[in-house]
């Protein structure tokens, strides 16, 4: 009904305009000109009435002055041009709110046109990964000659003993299925541990053979890149079949994700850690048997395993190497405390030299983490540095490494991401800016990692402050969100490595004390007496940077630091610290 009323109102206005013309008494030629001009002005109804009256008055005045109709029409000019001029003049007289509305509408049209143009331009861009970061990651492994690679030996050991299902729990004393510590001769679990190691003597020999080789030679890749023999080692016979390369059509975003560096698998690390557990248990058995040469050999293999674990320059590999070395160092410490006579002087010197050789294995490396980000950036941005639709899909599905398989959801997500791409382009940093920001973060992290541990403890983390500043700013978070989301928290890694260095240094000092005692039949009054014959320099308390503290307790040497408070508490520790020290579980 409202539409009828509206239509009636419009017709009434048109009739009113026509009525003015009909009642004017103008000749038909002049009336026709008035009607044509009014119709072509396309003005509001009230404005058309005003124009109608003005034009009628114009022609009426001319006729009254004696001019002919033809002359008036000629003088009036082109009706089309007159209509345009009249429309322009009337629009200038409209209220301010109308002009504001018109300008906003024009601005909106311009913005829509620019947005659509930008969208078309961005949709033409595609990521074109040009750097093979997987090959760079595997560079060291690929350089290992096949006859010097440990991986073939480890792999055959894994297949023969099914290391993918290998259970090392018989090596440990447990309580309610929780591992407490490696079994000792006075534990009820000891006989089970001895029998377990005896059953796996051939496996231990194979680990020794592999650990003695200079390189690992394991080439990391995606699931579909794993050979059948490797799959048999990692997953057993149930999953030994090689995964075929996908033949069906894949979206480009899915291809980007499936071929990315972040999808590389490292299943060998877990197996190597289990091998290290066997080596540590064998060290304990050798210590009980008084077999010093075997202890040295086990420690050599532990270091070899750690070196092999670090062949791929990723932080996760370094952390596995730290775990393996920590297990070995803590066992050496345990032997010093309980069965130091298991090794003669020459063998303790061998152990000391082995520990001095692991400095390169106690450095945190970040080149692999940089590769992860660089590979991500080349899969998100086009070569000219612009963000891409395919790259956004890759980022949003990075945690799953696949594009959603729900076609309806996928279509909706792809449409929404595509239409929002210009906004992302405007807000998010380009590739160069993103990489610069990430490199700055990694530079801060690397700078902190090489500082002594006591400085790391006393100084705020610049890399953490950097990320916190980005996260505290809405603009910074949105502009650099790949950096915020994908940048790993690496300060803890530096602390873990520093703890390993402190443990290694303390064990070296303990060995020096043992060698001093064996030669002089007494312990030194101060650690300074160990320098330079038994130690090259004064040992450092890694919690403060001052000299390491030392005293005798019940006829045995005690090494300790001042702790975070910087006080000499005589080596007293909290219950939590004592439990951590007493525990010799791996890791």
Q: Which among 217, 230, 111 has a CA at the least distance from the CA of 164?
A: 230
- 364, 318 Cβ separation under 8 angstroms: yes
Kindly state whether residue 216 falls inside one of the protein's structural domains: yes
- The token pair that represents 186 in the structure block: 């006075």
Coil/strand/helix, residue 539? coil
- 336, 511 Cβ separation under 8 angstroms: yes
Whole-number Cα distances in Å, 5 to 9, 10, 16? 6, 9, 16
Kindly state whether residue 128 falls inside one of the protein's structural domains: no
Q: Strand 172-175 vs strand 556-560: parallel, antiparallel, or unpaired?
A: unpaired
In this structure, are 147 and 57 located in the same domain? no
- The token pair that represents 340 in the structure block: 């130091």
Bond from prior residue into 532 cis (ω within 30 degrees of 0): yes
In this structure, are 79 and 152 located in the same domain? no
Bond from prior residue into 303 cis (ω within 30 degrees of 0): no
Report the domain count for the chain: 3
Give the other-Cβ count within 10 Å of 257's Cβ: 23
**Residue spans of beta strands (DSSP E) within 513-577:** 549-553, 556-560
Coil/strand/helix, residue 172? strand
pLDDT (tens digit, 0 to 9) for every residue of the chain, 587 residues total? 334 433 344 444 455 777 877 777 888 888 888 888 888 888 888 888 888 888 888 888 888 888 888 888 888 888 888 888 888 888 888 888 888 888 888 788 887 777 777 677 666 778 889 999 999 999 999 999 999 999 999 999 999 999 888 889 999 998 877 888 999 999 999 999 999 999 999 999 999 999 999 999 999 998 888 888 998 999 888 775 656 666 566 777 778 888 889 889 999 999 999 999 999 999 999 999 999 999 999 999 999 999 999 999 999 999 999 999 999 999 999 999 999 999 999 999 999 999 999 999 999 899 999 999 999 999 988 888 887 877 777 777 664 543 343 434 444 444 445 556 666 666 778 889 999 999 999 999 999 998 898 998 888 989 888 888 888 887 777 788 888 877 777 888 888 999 999 999 999 999 999 999 999 999 999 999 999 999 999 999 998 999 999 999 988 999 998 887 788 887 776 555 545 444 444 43
In this structure, are 195 and 290 located in the same domain? yes
In this structure, are 57 and 203 located in the same domain? no
In this structure, are 155 and 54 located in the same domain? no
- The token pair that represents 525 in the structure block: 């009054």
- The token pair that represents 490 in the structure block: 């690496």
In this structure, are 79 and 144 located in the same domain? no
pLDDT at 517: 96
**Residue 540 forms beta bridges with which residues?**
547
Coil/strand/helix, residue 540? strand
Give the other-Cβ count within 10 Å of 558's Cβ: 13
H runs (alpha helix) in 407-480: 407-419, 421-427, 431-449, 453-458, 462-472, 474-479
Whole-number Cα distances in Å, 563 to 455, 537, 541, 567, 577? 13, 21, 9, 7, 11
CB-facing half-sphere around the CA of 97: CA atoms within 13 A = 0
Whole-number Cα distances in Å, 495 to 274, 285, 405, 531? 24, 32, 42, 28
CB-facing half-sphere around the CA of 317: CA atoms within 13 A = 26
In this structure, are 150 and 12 located in the same domain? no
pTM (2 d.p.): 0.79
Residues 6+ apart with CB under 8 A from 137: 220, 261, 264, 312, 313, 314, 368, 371
CA dist 63 and 60 (Å) reads 5
- 21, 35 Cβ separation under 8 angstroms: yes
Query: Range of 46's domain?
Result: 2-92
Kindly state whether residue 419 falls inside one of the protein's structural domains: no
Give the other-Cβ count within 10 Å of 514's Cβ: 20
Kindly state whether residue 481 falls inside one of the protein's structural domains: no
Kindly state whether residue 382 falls inside one of the protein's structural domains: no
Q: How many helices (H) and strands (E) does the chain have?
A: 28, 4
For the chain, state the CA radius of gyration: 41
Q: Select from 92, 111, 146 the last residue of a domain.
A: 92
In this structure, are 85 and 163 located in the same domain? no
CA dist 548 and 507 (Å) reads 12
pLDDT at 427: 73
In this structure, are 185 and 330 located in the same domain? yes
Kindly state whether residue 115 falls inside one of the protein's structural domains: no
Q: Which among 511, 506, 509, 542 has a CA at the least distance from the CA of 526?
A: 509
Q: Select from 40, 67, 92 the last residue of a domain.
A: 92
Coil/strand/helix, residue 549? strand
In this structure, are 182 and 317 located in the same domain? yes
Structural element, H or E, at residue 333: helix 315-338
In this structure, are 154 and 83 located in the same domain? no
b/e per residue, 421-435, with b = 16+ CB within 10 A? Answer: bbebbeebbbbeebb
Coil/strand/helix, residue 203? helix
Give the other-Cβ count within 10 Å of 413's Cβ: 17
In this structure, are 225 and 284 located in the same domain? yes
Q: Select from 328, 362, 396 the last residue of a domain.
A: 362
pLDDT at 412: 41
Where do we find the tokens 């100084």?
A: 459
Q: Which among 262, 260, 229, 226 has a CA at the least distance from the CA of 244?
A: 226
Residues 6+ apart with CB under 8 A from 472: none
- The token pair that represents 479 in the structure block: 């502009």
pLDDT at 378: 93
Kindly state whether residue 450 falls inside one of the protein's structural domains: no
Kindly state whether residue 372 falls inside one of the protein's structural domains: no
pLDDT at 240: 59
CA dist 511 and 524 (Å) reads 13
């Amino acid at each position: 009904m409202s539409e009828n009323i509206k239509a009636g109102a419009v017709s009434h206005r048109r009739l009113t305009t026509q009525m003015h013309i009909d009642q004017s008494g103008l000749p038909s030629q002049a009336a026709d000109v008035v009607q044509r001009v009014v119709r072509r002005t396309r003005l509001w109804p009230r404005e058309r009435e005003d124009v109608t009256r003005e034009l009628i008055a114009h022609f009426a005045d001319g006729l009254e002055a004696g001019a002919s109709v033809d002359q008036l029409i000629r003088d009036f000019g082109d009706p089309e041009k007159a209509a345009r001029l009249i429309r322009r003049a009337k629009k200038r007289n409209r209220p301010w709110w109308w002009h504001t509305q018109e300008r906003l509408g024009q601005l909106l049209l311009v913005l829509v046109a620019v947005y659509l143009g930008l969208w078309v331009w961005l949709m033409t861009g595609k990521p074109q990964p040009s750097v093979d970061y997987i090959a760079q990651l595997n560079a060291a492994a690929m350089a290992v000659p096949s006859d010097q690679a440990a991986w073939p030996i480890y792999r055959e050991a894994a297949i023969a003993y099914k290391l993918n299902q290998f259970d090392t729990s018989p090596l440990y004393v447990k309580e309610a299925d929780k591992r407490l510590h490696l079994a000792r001769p006075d534990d009820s679990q000891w006989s089970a541990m001895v029998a377990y190691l005896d059953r796996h003597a051939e496996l231990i020999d194979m680990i020794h053979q592999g650990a003695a080789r200079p390189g690992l030679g394991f080439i990391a890749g995606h699931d579909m890149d794993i050979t059948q023999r490797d799959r048999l080692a990692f997953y057993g016979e149930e999953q030994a079949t090689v995964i075929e390369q996908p033949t069906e059509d894949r979206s480009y975003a899915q291809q980007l994700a499936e071929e990315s560096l972040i999808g590389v698998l490292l299943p060998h690390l877990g197996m190597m850690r289990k091998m290290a557990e066997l080596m540590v248990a064998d060290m304990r058995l050798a210590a009980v048997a008084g077999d010093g040469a075997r202890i040295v050999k086990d420690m050599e293999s532990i270091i070899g395993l750690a070196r092999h674990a670090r062949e791929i320059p990723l932080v996760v590999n370094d952390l596995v190497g730290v775990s393996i070395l920590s297990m070995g160092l803590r066992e050496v410490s345990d032997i010093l405390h309980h069965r130091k006579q298991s090794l003669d002087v020459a063998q303790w010197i061998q152990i000391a030299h082995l520990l001095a050789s692991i400095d390169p294995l106690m450095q945190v490396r970040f080149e692999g983490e940089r590769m992860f980000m660089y590979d991500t950036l080349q899969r998100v941005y086009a070569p000219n540095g612009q963000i891409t639709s395919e790259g956004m899909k890759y980022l949003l599905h990075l945690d799953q490494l696949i594009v959603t398989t729900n076609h309806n959801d996928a279509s909706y997500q792809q449409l929404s991401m595509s239409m929002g791409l210009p906004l992302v382009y405007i807000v998010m940093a380009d590739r160069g800016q993103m990489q610069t920001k990430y490199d700055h973060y990694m530079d801060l992290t690397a700078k902190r990692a090489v500082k002594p541990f006591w400085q790391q403890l006393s100084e705020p983390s610049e890399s953490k402050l950097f990320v916190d500043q980005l996260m505290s700013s809405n603009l910074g978070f949105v502009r650099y969100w790949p950096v915020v989301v994908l940048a790993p928290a690496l300060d803890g890694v530096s602390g873990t490595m520093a703890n390993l260095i402190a443990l290694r240094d303390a064990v070296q000092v303990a060995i020096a004390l043992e060698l001093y005692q064996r030669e002089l039949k007494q312990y030194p009054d101060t650690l300074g007496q160990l320098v330079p014959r038994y130690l090259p320099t004064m040992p450092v308390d890694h919690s403060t940077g001052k000299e390491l503290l030392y005293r005798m307790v019940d006829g045995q040497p005690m090494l300790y630091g001042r702790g975070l408070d910087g006080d000499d508490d005589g080596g007293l520790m909290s219950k939590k610290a004592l439990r951590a020290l007493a525990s010799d579980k791996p890791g």
